[in-house]
Amino acid sequence: MPVFKTPFNGYSVKFSPFYESRLAVATAQNFGILGNGRLHVLSLPPAPASPLTELISFDTADGIYDLAWSESHDSLLVAAVADGSVKLYDTALAPAQNPIRSLQEHTREVHSVDYNPTRRDSFITASWDDTIKLWTLDRPASIRTFKEHVYCVYSAAWNPRHTDVFASASGDCTVRIWDVREPGSTMIIPGHDFEILCCDWNKYDDCIIATASVDKSIKVWDVRSSRAPISVLNGHGYAVRKVKFSPHHRNLMVSCSYDMSVCMWDFMVEDALVGRYDHHTEFAVGVDLSVLVDGLMASTGWDELVYVWQHGNGPESTLTKGSVSCFPFFFFFVKSFCIFLMEVVRLEVKA
Amino acid sequence: MAMRELVTGGAACAVPGSSSSSNPLSALANALTGSSSKTRDRIKEIPTSTTTGTEPPFYQDATAEDRLKALPGADFDHSFSRHPTLQSSEFLRNFRTADQNGFADAWEEIHRSGPPPPPALLDHRLPPPQFQPTLEGPPQRVLSNFLHSFVGSSHGGIPFRPAPLPALGLSEGDKQCIRDRSSIMARHFFADKNEDFINAQVNALLSSLDIDGDVQAKGPFAGRFRELEDYWNESQGAPRHGPPQTDGWVSEFSQHRIEHGDPNAWAHSFEQQHGPNSWASEFEQEQRLVSAADQMRGANISNLAAMEQTRMLAHTLAQNNDPKFQNSKFLQFVSKMSSGELIIDDNQVKPAALSSPGDWATEYQQKYTAGPSWVDEYAGNQLSHGPDQWANEFSAEREQRPVDDQWVNEFSKLHVNDWADEFGRQVGEGAFGESSADNWADAYDEYLNEQVVAKQNSDASRGVYVFSDMNPYVGHPNPLKEGQELFRKGLLSESVLALEAEVLKNPDNAEGWRLLGIAHAENDDDQQAIAAMMRAHEADPTNLEVLLALGVSHTNELEQAAALKYLYGWLRHHPKYGTLANPELSDSLYYADVARLFNEAAEMSPEDADVHVVLGVLYNLSREYDKAIASFQRALKLKPQDYSLWNKLGATQANSVQSAEAILAYQQALDLKPNYVRAWANMGISYANQGMYEDSIRYYVRALAMNPKADNAWQYLRISLSCASRNDLFEACDSRNLDVLQKEFPL
């Protein structure tokens, strides 16, 4: 399994959408609590046994919590920096010529960034200042600020089909669905009893969204009927930090957790845990699936290591099937918000 | 907002001193004094124009006015569009290389005492830089060396040799940074623990780094204010409980984000209930008193408390037997930092003499010569943190409670009073004045109770059939016959009235209720349909059509458990397939079991359209739309005249993103039954899903013309109007003015 040792603690890893052997890693010193950050661009070795090689790296004055590859330029990266800035890097330019842009608007740590996969000219950032901001490449300032959450926003993810729709996950225990053409959020899902750290849309069904929470569970929701989750995936021993749907299989997703493991799930079957990877020795906080190679996974964590492997044949593919179950979960709340399904959501059709 | 940030920006914003600042005041101060590390950061990032004469105008601007940061990303266009040819920018890049990295590298080199610098940095290190302003630099670099060598030493068993800290120490910004980030992160690591513990954890870490008291005293109660607002907003929809809402309630004491948001909303409604009796001012007074008291007690107490918390931490870590966690560098780091094995003394980092935990008290006494009085002070401190205990109790009780669908109600009934009282009592004894706290607790208690009542009412209303007010069919000699006739003619709304008259006359008439339910379903009103069907089910628990209809309705609502119950009931009561059903199964239904039984039934009699219909519904439930479509198509071969089957097929196709095919199926249904409101509405949805909003509006309007009571269709219509940018018709839609809409969108 190709490995790369980063000098700082890993925070996020993402495969390039343009080159199947390229990936980028965001890191932060001192576990992201205080210190510098570094963005690495890595290349997969031709032989699986050899280590990953670094193509270039960029330093920042504060930790980098997340990154996103541009969907329009193969060399463009966006970094979410803990000092509240959003920085753009061009990997074709020397480190000294970077960042090509530094967008300073968030008043607190920027925790996630997501590049719009359908419009390809814009991205959103989620911050601990409780807001989400929408940016485009051609403007020096954000286009819009979405402020409704009442606590840190940990992640925001574009819908894979509806170009104006995204979801945000927050420490206020809600997920909100937004349409950038609408003044406010179009839907609020009070998904967990504890902070929600991440959300991601299914790449095949634009109504299905997964949430990862401090309550150790992952829940899968149908936004057309968000009163109860479609399924609840239990198996992580600590807070679930990230969740990501497979770009190749409708029912598969991966997650990583403060229990130091990376898990793969099939949310449609009862025994949902497909595999568990225990290679990290500190909190596993970053995981990604390659869009270009089916089953190619990468993970990073606070053990300062980046791993890349093919699902199923990693040397540590200890597929320990745990006591994992999927059960219907009843959730109660008064539906008094104007829950108004915009075209976000393919409307529920009644038989 | 602007004002608030001007005043309190330091608290709400990231880090004035270290790496970023959006606080205008501190930015101004930095610019004026030029002494903070922030300013130096800027200087090194901005190429100065003194050495060059022929730069692009942008850079001159920047140097003149220090505008680089003020216009975020303003250099984008230049470097992006001009690379790689332009000469002057080439020059600038070189300049920046030297300036920026050289500076940073030099820093690393000078202050790095223990571990070697990361390899990448070595590549472009510079000869002695002349830019270095002073010896005490960005403190986080110093700290990072110290933290790193500390963590490294714990790993490799090397004795830890602390590097001398420069006089600067940690800036306020750094302290705040550490404080804010570690408290947010700690909530993620220690999800199992209560807020009290998490705060203790963070405080222990912070006090070890000598970050405490003064930072904390800035706004210990700010969070509460915010929480009230959260409660107000959130409980509008749901009395929800979870951190940071509930547990966080207490923790927000220490988290000083002065983000009041819009407290007016809360205050306003509070005033409406209780009159403007100056709650806010009382509160603020108390706040000042308490924070003043905190300050007076000073760091002694917090250090002491931190030491006490150390033991909790050690205890918890010892409890986790996972070797992976025992070996975690991060947890060791937190542990050592918080256990006082590391202290900062006279600006020097020292490993504390490895003493037994009991010695801390002695050390403390020696250090602060507090004598026996510390016990009293400590007790006082405990009292003032009374609400923490509430958090403990609360989370303890909550953990014990099994999660079931009634938990909100139960919780509200059982605990709301408890905790409100408890809180009232504790604060009464503790640091706050009695009146304000009691008022608050009472008011909140009252409010929550109201919520619970409202909730129960709304629960009750679900599943209760609502009759029309003016019903001309009351007194009709045979309303059932009339209703059946009207239904056959497709006059759904009329037949609903006739059937209502029937069930008013004969409340036990299952057929009347059933037909009423069907009429409502076809009229696109599922709430009433379910309510009517439930009554039919009560009257005749074995009626197959009723069971199937209830299964379909619950599938529409995506209520899997209920749907399975009724569909399984259908099988159990079926004369032919009843034998397949296993009576033991009815207690715990799993989708797979039910699906298997119906597949067996389908094998038994492949010519029974009904079995295929149920199978189709089941596959909808599991979202296996391809199989569902196949089942419905098989059923349609046997029953091509069943309009509701065509609609089911269409709905399934639409749900599996085959909107074009769906429209054909709906068309079949409408050919068979032109007044089929649900099919008209579904047709609209399919057009909307294909982005043909104008068309979808026509179909919705048509459906609504037939049944103006179809609430869903009104909602869909509004969405399509918005998508078609016909906001001008919102008013007509909201006032349900069909004439205007029909004129605008004739079909």
Every domain range in chain B assigned CATH 1.25.40.10: 524-744
Q: How are beta strands A144-147 and A131-136 bridged, if at all? A: antiparallel
Minimal-distance CA residue of chain A relative to B662: A349
Give dist(CA A194, CA B188) in Å, integer.
9
Best-predicted range by mean pLDDT among B175-189, B207-221, B535-549?
Answer: B535-549
Shortest Cα distance from A281 to chain B (angstroms)? 6
Mention every residue, 6+ apart, whose C-beta is less than 8 A from residue B541: B569, B573
HSE-up of B702 (CA within 13 Å, CB side)? Answer: 21
Beta bridge partners of A198: A212
Q: Report the gap between the CA of A293 and the closest CA in chain B (Å).
A: 26
Are B165 and B146 a contacting pair, CB within 8 Å?
yes
Judged against a pLDDT cut of 60, whether residue A47 lies above it is answered with yes
Do residues A189 and A223 lie in contact, with contact meaning Cβ atoms separated by under 8 Å? Answer: yes
Q: Say whether pLDDT at B225 is over 90.
A: no
Q: How far apart are CA B181 and CA B175, in angstroms?
A: 10
A114 backbone φψ class: left, alpha, beta (φ>0; ψ -120 to 50): beta
Main-chain phi, psi angles of A290, to 5 degrees: -70, 135
The domain locations on chain A are 104-310
- Contact criterion met (CB below 8 Å) for A4 and A25: yes
Sign of CA dihedral B107, B111, B117, B118: negative
Q: Is the dihedral of CA B272, B274, B276, B281 positive or negative?
A: negative
Closest CA to B292 of B481, B447, B431, B428: B431
Domain A104-310 indexed as CATH 2.130.10.10: yes
| Cβ <8 Å between B41 and A108 | no
Residue B379 CB partners (closer than 8 Å, separation 6+)? none
* Cβ-contact B179, B203 below 8 angstroms: no
- Tens of pLDDT along A127-167? 999 999 999 988 889 999 999 999 999 999 999 999 999 99
B238–A333 CB contact, under 8 Å? yes
Show residues of chain A in contact with B560, CB under 8 Å.
328
Specify the residue for token string 């937004």.
A178
Q: How far is B223 from chain A (nearest CA, A)?
A: 11
Q: Which of A108, A173, A351 minimises the CB distance to B242?
A: A173
CATH domain B524-744 topology: 1.25.40
* Summary mean pLDDT of chain B: 62
How far is the first Cα of chain B from the last one, in angstroms, to the nearest whole number? 50
Using CA atoms in the order B447, B452, B457, B462, what is the torsion angle rounded to 10 degrees? Answer: 130
Nearest residue to A317 (alpha-carbon basis) of A297, A287, A301: A297
Q: Under an 8 A CB cutoff, do B240 and A333 touch?
A: yes
Q: Is A336 helix (H, G, I), strand (E, B) or coil?
A: coil
- Distance (Å, whole) CA B395 – CA A126: 29
Place of tokens 């029309």: B468
pLDDT tens digits, A170-189: 999 999 999 999 889 999 99
Count chain A–chain B contacts defined by CB atoms under 8 A.
Answer: 285
Judge: B120–A38 Cβ closer than 8 Å, yes or no.
yes
Please name the residue of chain B whose CA is at the shortest distance from the CA of residue A182: B722
Contacts of A140 in chain B (CB under 8 A): 71-74, 76
Site from A4, A11, A30, A34 to mutate, B interface, most B CB atoms within 10 angstroms: A34
User: d(Cα B217, Cα B256) in Å, to the nearest integer?
Assistant: 9
Find the mean pLDDT for residues B125-143.
Answer: 37
pLDDT tens, residue by residue, B230-272: 444 454 444 343 444 434 343 444 444 434 444 454 445 445 5
Given a cut of 50, whether residue B183 has pLDDT beyond it is yes
**Phi then psi dihedrals of residue B220, to 5 deg:** -65, -20
| Kind and range of the H or E run holding A298 | strand A296-301
Residue type, B398: R
Backbone angles phi, psi at A134, to 5 degrees: -105, 130
**B22 vs B10: CA distance, rounded Å:** 9
pLDDT tens by residue, B41-64: 333 333 333 333 333 333 333 333
| Beta-carbon contacts of residue B471 (< 8 Å; ≥ 6 apart) | B497, B500, B501, B504
pLDDT score for B236: 46
CB contact under 8 A, B652 and A351: yes
pLDDT band at B587 (very low <50, low <70, confident <90, very high): low
List the single range of B292-296, B463-467, B522-526 with lowest mean pLDDT: B292-296
Task: Check: CB of residue B690 under 8 Å from CB of residue B659.
Answer: yes
Nearest to A182 by CA among A144, A151, A210: A144
Provide the shortest C-alpha distance from residue B525 to chain A (in Å): 10
Contact B526 A350 (CB under 8 A): yes
How far, rounded to the nearest angstrom, does the alpha carbon of residue B16 sit from its chain's CA centroid? 29
- Spatial CA neighbour of B663 closest among B641, B682, B643: B682
Q: What is the arithmetic mean of pLDDT over A242-258? A: 94
Using CA atoms, how far apart are residues B523 and A291, in angstroms rounded to an integer?
Answer: 45
Average pLDDT over residues A248-252: 92
With CA atoms as reference, report the closest residue to B650 among B663, B639, B637.
Answer: B663
What average pLDDT does this structure show over A86-92? 93
Is the per-residue pLDDT at B188 higher than 70?
yes
